[in-house]
Amino acid sequence: MKAKHIKWGAIFALLPIAFLFYGMIVFGGQKYEGSTQNCFTDGILINGLAAFGKLERPEVLFLHDKHTDALEKKNKDCLTCHVKDKNNNLSIKFKRIENVSKDEVMDIYHLNCINCHNEMSASGDKSGPVTCGECHRDKVEESLCRAPIEIDKSLHGRHSKAYENKCETCHHEYNPETKKLFYEKGKESSCRYCHKDKTEENRMSMSMAAHTQCVNCHKKNIEEQKTAGPIKCSGCHDAKKQQLISKLDTIPRLERKQPDAALIKNNSPELATRMNFVPFDHKAHEEYNDTCRVCHHESLNECTKCHTLLGIKEGSNVSLESSMHTKKEKSSCIGCHEAKQKDKQCIGCHTFDSSRKKSSEDYCAKCHMSVPAQGTFTEEKDMSNFLLISRKLTTDSYNAEEIPEKVVMKDLVDKYEQAEMPHRKIVEYFEKSINSNKLSGYFHKDKNTVCNGCHHNSTSSVKPTRCGNCHGKPLAESENLDKPVLMTAYHGLCIGCHKEMELGKATGCADCHKERKKWWNNSVNR
Amino acid sequence: MSRRKFLGLAGAAGASALIGSSAHSASNKHFEGYPNSFGVLHDITLCVGCRSCEAACNRVNELPQPDVSFSDVSVLEQKRRTSSDAFTVVNKHANLKNSKVPIFNKIQCNHCLEPACASVCFVKAFKKTEQGPVLYDPSVCVGCRYCMVACPFDIPTYEYDKAFTPRVRKCTLCYPRIIEGLLPGCVESCPTGALKFGKRDDLIKIARDRISKKPEKYIEHIYGEHEMGGTSWLYLSGVPFKQLGMREDLGIKPAPEYTAGALSGVPIVVGLWPVLLTGIYAMTKRKEKVADLEKKECVKEAIEKEKADANAKLAKAMEKAETDKKTAIDKAVKKALEEASKAKVEG
Amino acid sequence: MSSETIESRKTYLNAFNICAGMIVLIGLFVTFLRFTGGLAKVTNLSNYNPWGIWIGFDLLAGVALAAGGYVTSAAVYIFGMKKYHSAVRPAVLTGFLGYSLVVIALSYDVGRPWRLPYPFIIQQGTTSLLFEVAACVALYLTVLFLEFSPAALEWLGLKKARSLAVKLTMVLTIFGVILSTLHQSSLGALFLIVPSKLHPLWYSPYLPIFFFVSSIIAGLSMVIFESSLSHKHFAYKMDETHLKEKDDITLGFGKAASLVLAGYFTIKVIGVSVANNWSLIATPYGLWFLVEMLGFVALPCFLYAIGVREKKVTLIRWTALWTVIGIVVNRLNISLVAFNWHLPSSERYFPHWMEIVISVFLLTVGIIAFRFIVTKMPILYEHPEYKDEH
């Protein structure tokens, strides 16, 4: 009898166990996307063996600052891990200057890492992993959040000031015959023009060049007890710490004998006369951008050197026309100008595509300005200057009394009361922001341009067409299938603009009009 | 079960499996939806989360009044789904591109071109109408809720709290209104034009047009154009739909295609199984018969052999008896002769 | 059997009766709640989780475990394994009771159970696999009833009707196998429509085949398990043939179960390989999948093989129980654990205690009915009047 009890007990005990598993599976160990993982600015992916072919094991995530800090506490310095090369610079590689052989590189890492970790734990300190799987983990690259850093004009200015305009401290040229670096005045350009993403033969990668140069220099300054830049990863690569890098109040111009004003023209003498040249305010554009590379993306040459009329190999077959007009390319004129339309104060109008009318002749002539009679100017830059000065950089405007102060929209009063719009205030706001900027001032010259932001397709006059003239009732047949009905047109315009400009106001119904209590309560189905 | 029989069974099962799967992939019918059917285009970038659509839906479908008024947008802070009291709900999602401008997305029945709910209903309570809406008929519904299991969008809901008249509840695309020439409640009430009602084909054109006009505003994907074979409700978005809790891994296969293979296996089993089983039965019977026969023959043979043996023994015995007899006679004759000659000598 | 044992069983106030009585009382109370207050009153079902344990355990596992009927009758009548003849009646009875309980459980689960005949008499949703399941279960229940009827008719002494029913045996067996093949596999095919909701390790286009093959395993194991229980509790009812054949049945069915389990393991592995889902093994769900595959498929396959080889009847019996639990685990995995796996845990389903009460209640009713029939009708012995009449 007892044995039987035990057996039945076992049977009934097993079912709850199965349910328990069920619970564990369903309610435990759930993992969701978007869960915030720890992310490291000082993470380096150790993949030294990648130079010798495909990696057998996953790359190792190495936290550099963590190690630096740990060594500092033990009064150890960089030389614990890095060796000095013949120029007395620290090699950024771990315990070696060159990659000799696969086995040797592997041994360097395995022996040194594991030994040090063992020693640390033997002395009772917090230590790192010593088994394979703890270091070689999958998908570690996901936990990196290193912010790239760029030497912008301010940072460059601070460095040139500190080094008394001795450009040769950093800038150099390379002589392939003697295989030596040398400096040539007036040839300085961006590091990236030569140092690419990967090390090729005896040309260091950008990352290696930057770290060897910057960190070693900063380190020497620290040793000489001078003001010095960061030597830890986070000093440069943490997005928050980047904000702390001080900016110069007045940023000096980068001098490379560039013109103040240039004339952009094609280099084909035969076609030269057929298209008006474009005067270009080079000096002003230097101020708008952080680096030269924004426009001069491959070298500090004239655009026309690589972008010819039909395009050549050196310019990736991009013609001069495309290089200036391609919208999606930020280094093109129109690409950059259109990107400015995304600025908060511009996007309100520019989010509606109907407000753009640019096929007109007038539109091209904004840049391709008509040239005064030939021979008036002997120098290109004089002509360019003349044209630039001749431009009018502010918008025209109606007189204040001509602009209605308030507009009341009462066509659709039903569920809500009528809405009142501070019309003049809005117009004045836009005029002010247009005139605050040379680019917008120049392109919104006409006094109706600002009106057309909302009154699109309407004739230019003090009394534009009413919205309801075009925007009909729901289900009405229309040639343009996507034409919004009146309610949509109103809301789309107001809310769309407020949303895009992030004005905050006018996002809930009651922000613009009151609810009609009566309607809601007496409605048929209520 | 002998090894041979087991293999036979397993083989038979395997064969039907193969036939089933090939019939499944061989289906070449592709339903592209009823021509001129209606749909709604939901442009998520335009939705401002005002809940007007929810209010209109509630009013049009005469649903119970909720505890929280529709003008209170604080409910958007919580993730909601359709329920038997709300055929549509708007959810708020964080905008990873710009945290200041949240994204709002409305959910309701998508009115699939080939609905999973209609395909799995064993009383045909669901119907895809030519106008576009997928309609439910509570008068035949048994309440198995397989439609809810099957719906890839988790839309149908059930009145679990009703003991006698529980119904499946879901959006009807305002079928009674659209056949009267009115707009669906939600579309009519949408202030920003985030919802656009029209013929599905036109809506796809409009959606394509919007994407091509503003490639920076939209991602290049019309959700619902192909999802689960296409839905009458279409969506445009500025961020990947996945970030809005919409599943992008549903594939473009219409739901009924997933079960077509299994259904085509039915006639195969019904047709082949009796033949196969009767065959196996006959074989077993025959084997038993043959075994029986062999056994009988064996017995017969044994008996015969026994008989022959016995005969031989008998013959041998007879022969021996004969010889014995002869010897005895000879002996007797000899003895008599001897005696006679002895007598002769003596006498 | 000595008359003393029979005497001692006449006391009604034994532990079993008290327990069963309590369960039945609570069960009836919950039944009342269910049919007056609706599903919300007694279940945790939600709009995300329309199917709970009444489908996962009572229907899916219940139908699989009632597969002993068709497996045994096919083995004996179609494959001519006469030496297992004494297992047929108990197996058919278990099957008949099992399916009856499935139908009763369904009446609890569906919203309007009085409409259950609607798919046959009002509108036929032939594109639905559930229609196929419903049709087959309804027909098979009739088949099982007819297959079982000789025992009842012998008990009632209706000779003519009994001989008519016996004549139908062959046809009914073949019909039963067809219907079982169809609905056992269709129960798996029910989930073919939810590739987006069922975890990829459990979802497979081969689900119907998995369900059919595993139902054979369930049937074989259930016969072994049930026969060992019957032997323990109703040995006094068994005749000599039963007692003699008992170990043969255990060994023979154990061998078959081991072979089918091996085949099942192989096709499951093929299923995962075809979908190339191996990478998912290293997730929590993957571990649980491994538990199912190794603990409830590979392990019993191995134990059955050892039991048969070493002729260890006790080991085979315990393995049968383990396998039965394994089938339940598999059906629960597909319908509940791996279903809706992408939802956050707050939106997942866990049964309400009253749902479990109903399942236990129905199980108890089944055991009581089995006990009643076995003690009254010629199930575990041959009726003396019909001996030598196969």
The predicted-structure confidence for A283-324, as pLDDT tens digits, reads as follows 999 989 888 889 998 888 888 888 888 888 988 899 888 999
pTM score: 0.78
Mean pLDDT of all residues in B85-90: 94
The torsion angles phi and psi of C347, rounded to 5 degrees, stand at -105, 10
pLDDT number for residue A493: 87
pLDDT number for residue B117: 94
Distance CA B157, CA B163 (A): 16
C334 pLDDT band (50/70/90 cuts)?
Answer: very high
- Which member of B21, B142, B162 has the closest CB to residue C118? B142
Q: Cβ–Cβ of B281/C182 closer than 8 Å? A: no
pLDDT number for residue B13: 44
User: Which residue in A has a C-alpha nearest to residue C341's C-alpha?
Assistant: A26
Residue A44 host element (H or E): strand A43-46
B25 pLDDT band (50/70/90 cuts)?
Answer: very low
pLDDT number for residue A262: 86
Q: Is the pLDDT score of C192 beyond 80?
A: yes
Tell me the torsion sign for CA atoms A482, A486, A490, A495: negative
Distance CA A88, CA B296 (A): 107
Q: Cβ–Cβ of C291/A21 closer than 8 Å? A: yes
Q: Which of C35, C43, C78 should be substituted to probe chain B, the one whose Cβ sees the most B Cβ atoms within 10 Å?
A: C78
Q: Cβ neighbours of residue A103 under 8 Å, at least 6 residues apart?
A: none
User: Which residue in C has a C-alpha nearest to residue B138's C-alpha?
Assistant: C112
Q: Which residue has the tokens 């107001």?
A: A494
- State pLDDT tens for residues A189-198: 899 998 988 8
Could you tell me if C66 and C105 are in contact, meaning their C-beta atoms sit under 8 angstroms apart?
no
Distance from CA of C283 to the nearest CA of A (A): 9
Q: Is some CB atom of chain A closer than 8 A to the CB atom of B317?
A: no
Q: Which of B38, B44, B48 should be substituted to probe chain A, the one whose Cβ sees the most A Cβ atoms within 10 Å?
A: B48
Q: Is some CB atom of chain B closer than 8 A to the CB atom of C265?
A: no
Contacts of A30 in chain C (CB under 8 A): 344-345
Neighbouring subunits of A (3+ Cβ pairs under 8 A):
B, C
CA distances from A518 to A410, A417, A486, A522 (A): 17, 11, 23, 6
- Which member of B142, B251, B255 has the closest CB to residue C110? B142
pLDDT-wise least confident of A189-198, A381-390, B139-148, C329-338:
A381-390
B17 pLDDT band (50/70/90 cuts)?
Answer: very low
Q: Is some CB atom of chain C closer than 8 A to the CB atom of B132?
A: no
- State pLDDT tens for residues B141-177: 999 999 999 999 999 999 999 989 999 999 999 999 9
Could you tell me if A218 and A228 are in contact, meaning their C-beta atoms sit under 8 angstroms apart?
yes
Q: Is the pLDDT score of A340 beyond 50?
A: yes
User: Which residue in C has a C-alpha nearest to residue B254's C-alpha?
Assistant: C193
Q: Cβ–Cβ of B59/A525 closer than 8 Å? A: yes
**Looking at chain C from residue 137 to 166, which residues have their Cβ under 8 Å from any Cβ of chain B?**
none
C12 pLDDT band (50/70/90 cuts)?
Answer: low
A186 pLDDT band (50/70/90 cuts)?
Answer: confident
Structure tokens at B172: 């009807």
Angle formed by the axes of helices C353-376 and C207-234, nearest 10°: 50
Distance from CA of A43 to the nearest CA of B (A): 24
Q: Is the pLDDT score of C308 beyond 70?
A: yes
Percent of all residues in chain A with a pLDDT value above 70, rounded to a whole number: 85
Is residue A426 helix, strand or coil? helix
Q: Cβ neighbours of residue B318 under 8 Å, at least 6 residues apart?
A: none
CA distances from B310 to A227, B297, B305, B307, B321 (A): 129, 19, 8, 5, 16
Tell me the torsion sign for CA atoms A507, A510, A512, A517: positive
Q: Which residue has the tokens 């089993």?
A: B269
**Looking at chain B from residue 281 to 300, which residues have their Cβ under 8 Å from any Cβ of chain C?**
281, 284-285, 287-288
- Which member of C134, C194, C212 has the closest CB to residue B150? C194
Q: Which of C128, C179, C339 should be substituted to probe chain B, the one whose Cβ sees the most B Cβ atoms within 10 Å?
A: C128
Structure tokens at C73: 């009758």
Distance CA A18, CA C212 (A): 23
Residue type present at position A310: L
Q: Which residue has the tokens 């598993």?
A: A21
Could you tell me if C108 and C54 are in contact, meaning their C-beta atoms sit under 8 angstroms apart?
yes
- Which member of A474, A481, A485 has the closest CB to residue B206? A481
Q: Which of A103, A104, A109, A107 is nearest to A129 (CA)?
A: A109
Distance CA B132, CA A187 (A): 70
- State pLDDT tens for residues A69-119: 888 888 888 888 999 888 888 888 898 888 888 888 889 999 999 999 998
Could you tell me if C322 and A11 are in contact, meaning their C-beta atoms sit under 8 angstroms apart?
no
- State pLDDT tens for residues B235-259: 999 999 999 989 999 999 999 999 9
Distance CA A523, CA A516 (A): 11
Q: What is the CA radius of gyration of chain C?
A: 21
pLDDT number for residue B29: 57
Neighbouring subunits of C (3+ Cβ pairs under 8 A):
A, B
Q: Cβ–Cβ of C288/A14 closer than 8 Å? A: no
**Looking at chain B from residue 202 to 231, which residues have their Cβ under 8 Å from any Cβ of chain A?**
202, 205-206, 209-210, 213-214
- State pLDDT tens for residues C134-179: 999 999 999 999 988 888 888 888 888 888 888 888 889 999 999 9
Residue type present at position C229: L
Q: Cβ–Cβ of C47/B10 closer than 8 Å? A: no
Q: Is the pLDDT score of A405 beyond 80?
A: yes
pLDDT number for residue A371: 73
Distance from CA of A11 to the nearest CA of C (A): 8
Number of Cβ within a 10 Å radius of residue C302: 15
- Which member of C285, C325, C332 has the closest CB to residue A14? C325
Could you tell me if C88 and C73 are in contact, meaning their C-beta atoms sit under 8 angstroms apart?
yes
Angle formed by the axes of helices C88-109 and C207-234, nearest 10°: 120
Q: Which of C14, C337, C346, C367 should be substituted to probe chain A, the one whose Cβ sees the most A Cβ atoms within 10 Å?
A: C337
Residues forming beta bridges with residue B197, ordered by sequence position: B40
Distance CA A188, CA A167 (A): 8
Is residue B195 helix, strand or coil? strand
Query: Could you tell me where the DSSP H helices lie in C118-206?
Result: 118-121, 129-156, 159-167, 169-189
Q: Cβ–Cβ of A30/C344 closer than 8 Å? A: yes
Distance CA B35, CA C289 (A): 46
Q: Is the pLDDT score of A33 beyond 80?
A: no
